[in-house]
């Protein structure tokens, strides 16, 4: 792998590139999914190739080749240079200086998920599926997944790093229907469960079979529940929904490429400006957000990003004030701060982009019950069901799978079709409490989209239940 | 080697029943921002997916290592998967051999475009925008899909596609336009840029709007996006079987205004034609809603077998990575109306809002077809039948069936709107949609102003 990267870098610099990096990536994804007592999907996918990124006369070029041989490496390098030379624009792209690094990193894994027999995975899914049966339950689905990504990065500046990242994940969903009402309940998270950089021990720790009856009971109860009323009230969100709120309304707007408009044609831009750093009031004093690619088990954990920048923990919001952006070497150079460290590519055939790594909201104090205890009248919401946010990441609307009234500090009747909406800084400004370290969990998302051509990133968020005052809930069509 | 050669080679590596799908891509995407190309990406790949059967047990493996050793390893992994699966008495077996229809959808000149051409066509958009900064891309690709199976089925199709997309944006203003076709010569990137710039110029000074229910004109971009999201739950057989489709219990009943006819039409040369699906079943036109009455959904072999009511595949199995959605209509087509222009539709609306495109849709309630999202890059007030002052980006939450239940009119011309965001392997698809004027579109909040 290393020799091919070096050959590609040599070919690119020989063709006139002032900078080049090459990544050889081998990725394997395994998925077992069952639905209503049958195997629904059983796939084992691998993909490998080399991606070469060059700067020629200040213009970027990227090309890739699935052939892992010298011809493939050189062809990719030369085509990347051709594309860069043809690129329209004035181009004066500079990269923040980083020290050339060599090193190796591997995820901590107790039991290799690919060594677990497929038959055992099928058995686990079917046992959980069986335990999901219940009144009005019409769809039961369970899945387990594993990924291993082995990649080598070599650059013309002397960076030479190798990383092996292993992920394991699982989840289950249960749909119930009654009299035209359709409801979903998921565990541990919606939208393809939850994952970690870990081995099979993570899947076992989720205790899918043991959790399934509660999931089914709640799905069945939801089709009998009243809809969430429409009003302004106090909202308490579970950690899962807080994680998504952080992702959408803090993670994406603090990506500095979005701030500079380079995602304007697809994912959108940001309400933040470069000059907001250090001064913008993002939320209340309870709001502390940290980017941390060193988090054990995080899906965004690594030793080096895809530009070879070493992993570093850094504040993004401190006591409610904007304290940092997520950057690449190029965008860091533009603001003259830092040296990047958030560049990641979705495999060998995509160009690295500024992506979230692990973005956490730091814990506060107490428990979920403590948060509820200080609410006379409000709504407690759990597990994301729908999400949408505008192109500058200001106006958002989220729905959750399940909610409960809060009356006099206690959870009351169950509610369905709960939604809430707001404007990002106003919403975070209404944060008045977040639960403590004991309630703080890592939530792993595998469906973060960005870029053209599209790229999916895997990111984690540490989050705990949090309370927000005066929030609009129950949005109706 | 062609994709079909690779599929056949993969099949030969298996002992027993199997199906091989080979999917190749050669593409270039010249992405630009601030009127400079900043992310130019060239991709060449060939992926083969092998489904091995052991009786009614099936296992699937995928690779892009297509030499002898790579295919042997692929066969081994797919076989292990099949042998690890329990029996499935609803498994329909592999598709039989069949003759797919002859379709358009491949153009030699488009396939021949290389990085210099893709950069040149992106530059044409940038130059045409003049002083207004533009953000977008020009892309073109040649892709090939081939299937071979032990039932004797062989099928192959070469496809091309090209798109020019432009967001013209500066402080406080933005506009959008896009052209997609399977022939790059049918796309004029400069015209796309001029449309976007013209639209942007009209969005300066955008005002907020009181939330409420408004009459609305939706350009094809907005209408196509709504339909695409609605279709995932409501117009495929899996959603119907799992009772999350709006059409559940409503087949044969009126679900929309009589002006609304929606089909999946993979054979239409005005779209992005397809000859067969990812199981090798020939494609066909499927009427989904006819004159406002629900007629059916699209099916693949698995959902048809599980329905057990005489249903049969309509040729809508998707790529393996999308199978959890079941069969989907990849070639949605809305019958046009008789309005000449969007101005005519505004006249029908009288008082309402005009929406160019949508952003970040989310399904709030699949069973009721409720979708939320934002308007973007060209939202205007309609007053006295005229498109008037600009509005900020608006939060909407609408029931798609309710939107379609009271329609004032549609334009005579339908536009092909690209629906792929180029994740995974290149598989061109889009929606043929006219502009729409409807009586009810629910605005639930105000968002950011247009522009950067």
CB pair distance less than 8 Å for A265 and B136: yes
| Residue B50 pLDDT | 98
What's the pLDDT at B323? 83
Rounded distance, CA B156 to CA B149, Å? 12
* Nearest chain B alpha carbon to A262: B33
CA-based Rg of chain A, rounded to a whole angstrom? Answer: 23
Q: How far apart are CA A397 and CA A476, in angstroms?
A: 11
Q: What is the model's pLDDT at position A477?
A: 79
Could you read off the pLDDT of B395-414 as tens digits, one per residue? 999 999 999 999 999 999 99
For residue B375, what pLDDT is reported? 97
Measured distance CA(A432)–CA(A367) in Å, rounded? 14
Residue of B nearest to A121 (CA): B84
Sorting pLDDT into bands at 50, 70 and 90, what band is B441?
very high
Give the pLDDT of residue B332. Answer: 98
Distance CA A350, CA A454 (A): 8
Cis link prior to A453 (omega < 30° from 0)? Answer: yes
The token duo for B152 is 């004797």
- CA B298/CA B300 separation, integer angstroms: 7
Separation between Cα atoms, residue A401 and residue A417, nearest integer Å: 7
pLDDT of residue A93: 84
Other C-beta atoms lying within 10 Å of the C-beta of residue B75: 23
Q: Three-state SS for A366? A: coil
Q: How confident is the model at residue B320 (pLDDT cuts 50, 70, 90)?
A: confident
For residues B101 and B84, what is the distance between their CA atoms, to the nearest angstrom?
Answer: 37
Helix axes A70-86, A2-14, angle to 10 degrees: 40
pLDDT of residue B1: 87
Contacts 24+ apart (CB under 8 A), B224-227: B224/B332, B224/B415, B224/B417, B224/B419, B224/B430, B224/B431, B224/B433, B225/B357, B225/B358, B225/B361, B225/B373, B225/B417, B226/B358, B226/B361, B226/B371, B226/B398, B226/B400, B226/B403, B227/B262, B227/B332, B227/B334, B227/B400, B227/B431, B227/B433
Contacts B41 to A, Cβ<8 Å: 62-63, 83, 350-351, 453
Backbone angles phi, psi at A234, to 5 degrees: -80, 135
Question: Which residues in chain A are closer than 8 Å to B376, comparing Cβ atoms?
Answer: 390-391
Output the six-digit token pair for A196. Answer: 């970690």
Binned average pLDDT, 10 residues per bin, chain A of 477 residues: 96 98 98 95 96 96 97 98 89 89 97 98 98 96 98 98 98 95 95 94 98 98 97 98 98 98 96 97 98 98 98 98 98 91 98 98 98 98 96 96 98 97 98 98 96 97 98 90
In degrees, rounded to 5, the angle at the alpha carbon of residue B382 between the alpha carbons of residues B380 and B384 is 155
pLDDT, tens digit, 9 for 90 and up, residues B345-398 = 999 999 999 999 999 999 999 999 999 999 999 999 999 999 999 999 999 999
Element (H, E) at A422: strand A418-423
- Give which of B44, B140, B451 to mutate to test A binding, by max A Cβ within 10 Å: B44
Q: How far apart are CA A345 and CA A354, in angstroms?
A: 9
Q: Which has the closest alpha carbon to A326: A301, A356, A346, A352?
A: A356
Handedness of CA A68, A71, A77, A80 (dihedral sign): negative
Enter the tokens of residue A244: 């998504």
For residue B223, what pLDDT is reported?
Answer: 98
Q: Is B269 exposed, middle or buried (0-12, 13-18, 19+ CB in 10 A)?
A: exposed
A chain contacts of residue B448, beta-carbon cutoff 8 Å: 271, 390-392, 394-395
> Cβ contacts (< 8 Å) between B362 and chain A: which residues?
386-388, 397, 399
| CB-side neighbour CA atoms (13 Å) of A53 | 20
Q: What is the pLDDT of residue A316?
A: 98
DSSP code per residue over A141-158: EEEEEEEEEEEEEEETTS
Torsion sign over Cα B70, B76, B79, B83: negative
For chain B, the distance separating the N- and C-terminal CA atoms, rounded to the nearest angstrom, is: 47
* Residue B46 contacts A where some CB pair is shorter than 8 Å: yes
Question: What is the per-residue pLDDT for A89?
Answer: 78
Read off the pLDDT of residues B64-119 as tens digits, 9 standing for 90 and up: 999 999 999 999 999 999 999 999 999 999 999 999 999 999 999 999 999 999 99
DSSP SS3 for A292: coil
- By DSSP bridging, strand A59-65 and strand B36-54 are parallel
Q: How far apart (Å, rounded) are the C-alpha atoms in residues B134 and B201?
A: 13
How large is the ipTM?
0.95
B41 touches A353 (CB < 8 A): no
Q: Considering only residues B320 and A402, tell me which one the structure prediction assigns the higher pLDDT.
A: A402
Which phi and psi (to 5°) does residue B91 adopt? -65, 125
Q: How far apart are CA A468 and CA A430, in angstroms?
A: 5
Question: CB-based contacts of A390: which residues, under 8 Å, 6+ apart?
Answer: A268, A396, B359, B360, B374, B376, B393, B395, B447, B448
3-state secondary structure of B307: helix
Q: Which two tokens stand for residue A238?
A: 């579970």
Separation between Cα atoms, residue B8 and residue B2, nearest integer Å: 10
**The three-state (H, E, C) secondary structure of A37-94, written as one string:** CEEEEEEEEEEEEEEEEEEECCEEEEEEECCCCHHHHHHHHHHHHHHHHHCCCCCCCC
Q: Distance between terminal CA atoms of chain A?
A: 54
pLDDT over 70, % of chain B: 100
- Chain B contact set for A453 (CB, 8 A): 27, 29, 41, 43, 139, 421-423
Q: Which two tokens stand for residue A447?
A: 């469906």
Residue A36 is encoded by which pair of tokens?
């209503």
Residue B322 has pLDDT above 90, yes or no: no
Chain B residue closest in CA terms to A44: B61
Q: Which of residues 307-366 of B touch A (CB under 8 A)?
A: 320, 323-324, 359-366
Distance, in Å, from the CA atom of B416 to the CA atom of A250, rounded to the nearest integer, reads: 35
Question: Regarding beta strands A102-106 and A226-227, do their DSSP bridges make them parallel or antiparallel, or are they unpaired?
Answer: unpaired
CB atoms within 10 A of CB B152: 10
């Amino acid at each position: 792998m290393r020799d091919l990267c070096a050959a590609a870098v040599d070919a690119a610099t020989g063709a006139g590139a002032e900078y080049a990096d090459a990544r050889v990536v081998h990725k394997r994804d395994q998925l077992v999914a069952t639905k209503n007592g049958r195997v629904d999907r059983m796939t084992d996918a691998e993909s490998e190739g080399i991606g070469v990124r060059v700067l020629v006369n200040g213009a970027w070029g990227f090309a890739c080749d699935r052939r892992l041989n010298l011809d493939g490496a050189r062809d990719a390098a030369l085509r990347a240079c051709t594309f860069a030379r043809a690129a329209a624009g004035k181009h004066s792209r500079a990269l923040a200086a980083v020290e050339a690094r060599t090193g190796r990193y591997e995820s901590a894994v107790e039991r290799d998920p690919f060594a677990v027999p497929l038959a055992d995975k099928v058995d686990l899914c079917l046992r959980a599926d069986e335990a999901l049966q219940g009144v009005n339950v019409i769809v039961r689905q369970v899945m387990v997944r594993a990924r291993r990504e082995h990649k080598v990065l070599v650059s013309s500046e002397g960076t030479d790093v190798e990383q092996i990242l292993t992920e394991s994940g699982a989840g289950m969903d249960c749909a119930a229907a009654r009299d035209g009402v359709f409801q979903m309940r998921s565990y541990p998270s919606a939208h393809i469960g939850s994952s970690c950089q870990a081995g099979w021990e993570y899947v076992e720790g989720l205790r899918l079979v043991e959790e399934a009856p509660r999931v089914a009971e709640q799905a069945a109860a939801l089709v009998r529940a009243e809809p969430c009323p429409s009003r302004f009230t106090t909202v308490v969100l579970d950690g899962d929904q807080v994680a998504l709120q952080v992702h959408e309304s803090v993670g994406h707007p603090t990506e500095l490429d979005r701030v500079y408009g380079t995602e304007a044609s697809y994912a959108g831009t940001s309400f933040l400006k470069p000059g907001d750093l250090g001064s913008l009031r993002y939320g209340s004093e309870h709001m502390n957000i940290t980017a941390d690619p060193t988090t054990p088990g995080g899906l965004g954990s690594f030793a080096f990003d895809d530009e070879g920048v070493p992993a570093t923990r850094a504040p993004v919001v401190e006591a409610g004030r904007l304290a940092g952006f997520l950057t690449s070497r190029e965008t860091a150079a533009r603001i003259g701060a830092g040296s990047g460290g958030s560049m990641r590519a979705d495999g060998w055939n995509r160009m690295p982009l500024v992506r979230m790594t692990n973005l956490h909201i730091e814990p506060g104090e107490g428990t979920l019950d403590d948060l509820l205890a200080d609410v006379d009248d409000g709504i407690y919401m759990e597990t994301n069901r729908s999400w949408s946010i505008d192109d500058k990441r200001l106006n958002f609307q989220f729905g959750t799978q399940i909610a409960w009234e809060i009356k006099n500090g206690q959870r009351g009747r169950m509610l369905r079709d709960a939604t809430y909406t707001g404007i990002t800084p106003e919403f975070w400004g209404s944060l008045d409490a977040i639960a403590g370290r004991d309630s703080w969990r890592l939530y792993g998302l595998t469906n973060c989209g960005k870029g053209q051509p599209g790229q999916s990133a895997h990111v984690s968020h540490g989050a705990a239940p949090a309370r927000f005052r005066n929030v609009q809930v129950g949005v109706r069509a | 080697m062609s994709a079909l050669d690779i599929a056949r080679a993969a099949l030969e590596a298996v002992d027993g029943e199997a199906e091989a799908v080979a999917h190749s891509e050669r593409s270039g995407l010249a992405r630009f921002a601030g009127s400079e190309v900043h992310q130019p990406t060239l991709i060449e790949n060939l992926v083969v997916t092998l489904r091995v059967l052991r009786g009614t047990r099936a296992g699937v493996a995928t690779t892009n290592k297509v030499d002898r050793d790579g295919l042997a390893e692929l066969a081994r992994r797919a076989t292990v998967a099949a042998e690890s699966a329990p029996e499935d008495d609803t498994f329909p077996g592999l598709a039989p051999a069949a003759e797919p229809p002859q379709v358009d959808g491949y153009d030699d000149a488009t396939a021949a475009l290389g990085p210099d051409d893709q950069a040149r066509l992106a530059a044409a958009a940038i130059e045409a925008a003049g002083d207004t900064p533009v953000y977008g891309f020009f892309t073109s690709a040649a892709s090939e899909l081939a299937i071979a199976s032990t039932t004797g089925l062989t099928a192959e199709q070469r496809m091309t596609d090209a798109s020019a997309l432009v967001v013209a944006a500066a402080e406080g203003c933005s506009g959008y336009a896009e052209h997609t076709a399977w022939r790059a010569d049918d796309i004029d990137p400069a015209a796309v840029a001029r449309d976007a710039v013209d639209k942007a110029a009209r969005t300066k000074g955008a005002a907020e709007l009181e939330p409420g229910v408004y009459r609305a004109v939706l350009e094809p971009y907005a209408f196509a996006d709504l339909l695409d999201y609605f279709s995932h739950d409501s117009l495929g057989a899996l959603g119907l079987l799992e009772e999350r489709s709006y059409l559940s219990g409503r087949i044969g009943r009126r679900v929309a205004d009589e002006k609304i006819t929606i089909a999946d039409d993979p054979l239409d040369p005005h779209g992005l034609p397809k000859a067969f699906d990812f199981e090798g079943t020939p494609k066909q036109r499927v009427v989904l809603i006819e004159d406002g009455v629900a007629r059916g959904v699209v099916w693949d072999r698995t959902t048809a077998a599980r329905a057990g009511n005489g249903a049969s595949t309509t040729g809508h199995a998707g790529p393996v990575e999308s199978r959890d959605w079941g069969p989907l209509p990849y070639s949605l087509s809305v019958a046009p109306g008789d309005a000449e222009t969007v101005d005519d539709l505004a006249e029908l609306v009288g008082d309402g809002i005009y929406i160019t495109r949508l952003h970040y849709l989310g399904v709030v309630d699949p069973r009721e077809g409720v979708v939320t999202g934002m308007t973007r890059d060209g939202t205007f007030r309609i007053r006295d039948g005229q498109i008037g002052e600009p509005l900020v980006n608006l939060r909407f939450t609408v029931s798609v069936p309710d939107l379609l239940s009271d329609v004032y009119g549609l334009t005579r011309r339908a536009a092909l709107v690209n629906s792929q965001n180029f994740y995974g392997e290149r598989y061109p698809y889009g929606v043929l949609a006219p502009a729409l004027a409807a009586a009810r579109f629910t605005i639930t909040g105000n968002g950011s102003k247009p522009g950067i």
